[in-house]
Amino acid sequence: MKISKLILTVSLSALTTIVQALTLPSSVVDADWLAKNKAEVQIVEVTSDVASFLRKPEIETDQKTGKKMLAEVGGHIQGSALIDFTKARAEKTIEAKKVKYLIPEKADFEKLVQTAGINSGKPIVLVPIGLDIADVDEALRVLWQFKVYGERNIAVLDGGLAGWLMDGKEVSTEKSNLKTGNWLATDYRKELVATSEEVAGASTSGKIELIDSRPPSQFFGVTKRDYVNGFGHIAGAKDFAPELLTRSKNGALYFLNKKTYEALFAESGIKPSAPAISYCNSGHFAAGSWFVAAEIVGNPSVKLYDGSLHLWTIEGRPLVSVPL
Q: Can you give the pTM of this predicted structure?
A: 0.92
What is the per-residue burial (b if ≥16 Cβ within 10 Å, else e) of 173-204?
Answer: eeebebeebebebeeeeeebbbebeebbebbe
For residue 13, the model assigns a pLDDT of 42
DSSP bridge pairs for 46: 83
User: What is the spatial distance between Cα 259 and Cα 265, in angstroms, rounded to a whole number?
Assistant: 10
Between CA 147 and CA 150 the distance in angstroms is: 5
For residue 323, give every residue at least 6 positions away whose Cβ sits within 8 Å of its Cβ, in sequence order, or none: none
List strands edge to edge, sheet with 154-157. Answer: 28-29, 154-157, 124-127, 42-47, 81-84
pLDDT (0 to 100) of residue 80: 98
Helix and strand numbers (H, E) in the chain are 10, 16
CA dihedral (80, 84, 87, 88) in degrees, to 10, reads 60
Helix (H) or strand (E) holding 76: none
Lateral strand order in the sheet of 302-305 = 193-194, 302-305, 276-279, 209-212, 238-239
Phi, then psi, of 203 in degrees rounded to 5:
-65, -40
Strands (E) across the chain are located at 28-29, 42-47, 58-61, 68-72, 81-84, 90-94, 97-102, 124-127, 154-157, 193-194, 209-212, 238-239, 246-249, 252-255, 276-279, 302-305
Neighbours of 33 (CB within 10 A): 18
Say what the pLDDT of residue 253 is. Answer: 98
The distance of Cα 106 from the centroid of its chain, to the nearest Å, equals: 18
The answer to whether the beta carbons of residues 296 and 213 sit under 8 Å apart is: no
Q: What is the SS3 assignment for 81?
A: strand
- Say what the pLDDT of residue 22 is: 58
Give the angle subtended at the CA of 138 by the CAs of 133 and 142, to the nearest 5°. 145
The span from the first CA to the last CA of the chain, in angstroms, equals 84
297: Cβ contacts below 8 Å, ≥ 6 apart: 258, 261, 262, 265, 272, 273
Q: CA torsion angle for 136, 71, 39, 24 (degrees, to 10)?
A: -30
Residue in 242, 94, 61, 84 with CA at minimum distance from that of residue 166: 61
Q: List the domains of the chain with CATH numbers.
A: 24-166 (3.40.250.10), 190-314 (3.40.250.10)
Sign of CA dihedral 223, 228, 231, 233: negative
pLDDT one digit per residue (tens) for the chain, 324 residues: 444 444 444 344 444 434 444 589 999 999 999 999 999 999 999 999 999 999 999 988 877 777 888 888 999 999 999 999 999 999 999 888 999 999 999 999 999 999 999 999 999 999 999 999 999 999 999 999 999 999 999 999 999 999 999 999 999 999 998 999 999 999 999 999 999 999 999 999 999 999 999 999 999 999 999 999 999 999 999 999 999 999 999 999 999 999 999 999 999 999 999 999 999 999 999 999 999 999 999 999 999 999 999 999 999 999 999 998
C-alpha pair distances (Å), 177 with each of 118, 215, 227, 301 = 12, 39, 37, 39
